[in-house]
Copies of this chain bind each other. A is one copy, B any other.
């Protein structure tokens, strides 16, 4: 193991390092690992689970990954090379799962018997026997990379692809504020270990489905400025979704589009969930309190991203949101 890698591990605080050692001791002492990825799996839970699984297999252990939902085919470069072995599970690991309600319908039997949870969510409910948590990590994959290093497993290109995927997807390709020097250095290591970063980035960030294109186009066509162009509103109705052939999965990231317009400080996205029932996402810039705006309709969230619900007509929900925002921005 080279000095650079060890320095990377030890750059963290003592508490984390201690928990990392406990984690690795547990992994060394156990076998027959069942690794749980969360429901509606994303790049971080998939990358974390498979990178850990492959590493455990590399040191002669039995391990497999399970998930309540099927894993999207765009991640097949991670899981396709893995031979799933059949064995009786003895040690249950959850990756990137803050709360057991994210296990999904099919994996409820494992709630209450998780031996180890590896996660980066500060909101982690500590439901596992032991939790390795680093809330400063941009992705759980960043923590998994430390575990693999300390386990003494040599990174190969598939493990590197897995880790890189989690780092890139959880940071919007290193764009979001959660990206730290450690995240970037971990990504650099993974590229040196053979991660096909450019191909992964293209697949994750530069490929849109036709349905996504259509729904984004019609959402942007619904755009209305108000409050002296400081606020913007877009709508996504059931009819628009049907015409675009789109589902909920195609809407990822759309609520953050309106506030990207120069000068806009409040962006409202109104989604029709079922006839007459609307979910509203509010995103803000410049310190405007999104949570306060949503509280007017009984919702809540964070300072820059919040949500609420409304029953009525599209006209009514638009009018009430415009009224609330006008009042808030004075």
Contact = CB atoms under 8 A, between A and B. Distances in A.
Interface stretch (A53-61, A257-265, A292-300): A257-265
Choose among A7, A179, A184, A191 the residue with the greatest number of B CB atoms under 10 Å from its CB: A184
Interface stretch (A38-46, A81-89, A205-213): A205-213
A205 B262 CA distance: 12
Number of identical protomers: 2
A192 to B, nearest CB: 5
Contacts of A263: 210
B197 A192 contact: no
A181 B193 CA distance: 10
Interface string A194-224: 0001100100011111100100010011010
A6 interface: no
Given A179-B197, A185-B185, A217-B221, A206 B174 contact: no
A256 B4 CA distance: 38
Main secondary structure of the interface of A (DSSP, over half): helix
For chain A, the bracket of interface size reads: 35 or more
Nearest to A198: B177
Nearest to A189: B181
A208 B174 contact: no
A-B pairs, top 3 by smallest CB distance, nearest first, are A177-B198, A181-B188, A184-B188
Interface of A: 4, 7, 172-177, 179-182, 184-185, 187-189, 191-192, 197-198, 201, 205-210, 213, 217, 220-221, 223, 229, 256, 260-263
16 contacts: A172-B173, A173-B173, A173-B175, A175-B205, A176-B198, A181-B188, A184-B187, A206-B260, A207-B260, A207-B262, A208-B261, A210-B261, A213-B220, A213-B223, A217-B223, A220-B220
